[in-house]
Structure 1
């Protein structure tokens, strides 16, 4: 009976659930940067906090991420294959002629860094577009406040 209970408990706890995904996101740090000659933006997402820096010398402004936004980030984070981030190709090349700021997404997770190749700010690779758009939404919200 103990063996059966242990087996049931193991199966029940090992099932993927939102709580597991939330723990994964809480253990991660998402860093989005975009730079050009006249533009700088850095957004760091870490443990329910978005730190937004809008210029190179300025101080980051921190805002708490709402539960609804955090749940959306969890769902988007689950969709990302961290091992493939480094191989994603940019859909546009405007950054090569100053048509767009140079952007980058870096994810620090469990002591390891996963970093994308550079891409045009506003035109991320399709595989990370949803999460990059969500990360940028925190900077836009901060502009409105």
Structure 2
């Protein structure tokens, strides 16, 4: 009986932790942008919705995010060091000679903004690669 009680208690605690993490994401906005002279893409994710804008002065296309995909985003986001975003180094420099659009990841959490320096679209720093790739997948649909 004690073992059963202990297992149930553990389950309730684990469930509470998971739901707390999802609650924290409600106040978080993640924006990925890729810009150049002839290229424009802005993807914004907030509270299980995504907005994708593929052209300047165009209306954003908004969609809901299914639970499985949302959980992947939450998982990738939890691995990101927000305080270290501004110090990330780009692995390539194609953007300096118009070989790639300038990518940028901006996260607004609890009223504070965290932003990366510019990097080549398609070649994000390793620390944010998983999150950026999940966001870019929305623009491919």
TM-score by length of 2: 0.88
Alignment of 1:140 onto 2:132: no
Instruction: State the alpha-carbon separation in 1 of the partners of residues 78 and 110 from structure 2.
Output: 15
CA contact (8 A) 1:34 1:121 kept: yes
Alignment of 1:79 onto 2:79: yes
1:6 is matched with none
In structure 1, list runs of 5 or more residues that go unmatched. Answer: 1-8
CA contact (8 A) 1:48 1:64 kept: yes
In structure 2, list runs of 5 or more residues that go unmatched. Answer: 1-8
CA contact (8 A) 1:29 1:44 kept: yes
Query: What are the superposed Cα offsets for residues 76-129 of structure 1, whole Å, 9 maximum, x if unpaired?
Result: 111011000000000000000110000100000001000000000000000000
1:28 is matched with 28
CA contact (8 A) 1:25 1:77 kept: no
Instruction: State the alpha-carbon separation in 1 of the partners of residues 45 and 81 from structure 2.
Output: 18
Instruction: State the alpha-carbon separation in 1 of the partners of residues 135 and 47 from structure 2.
Output: 13
CA contact (8 A) 1:26 1:47 kept: yes
TM-score by length of 1: 0.85
Instruction: State the alpha-carbon separation in 2 of the partners of residues 47 and 139 from structure 1.
Output: 18
**Shift of residue 17 of structure 1?**
2.5
After TM superposition, the structure 1 = structure 2 runs for residues 14-93 of structure 1, keeping only pairs within 5 Å, are: 17-93=17-93
Instruction: State the alpha-carbon separation in 2 of the partners of residues 14 and 74 from structure 1.
Output: 16
1:5 is matched with none
Alignment of 1:111 onto 2:111: yes
Query: What are the superposed Cα offsets for residues 19-68 of structure 1, whole Å, 9 maximum, x if unpaired?
Result: 12211222100011100111000000011110000011100000111110
Instruction: State the alpha-carbon separation in 2 of the partners of residues 74 and 139 from structure 1.
Output: 18
Count, aligned residues:
131
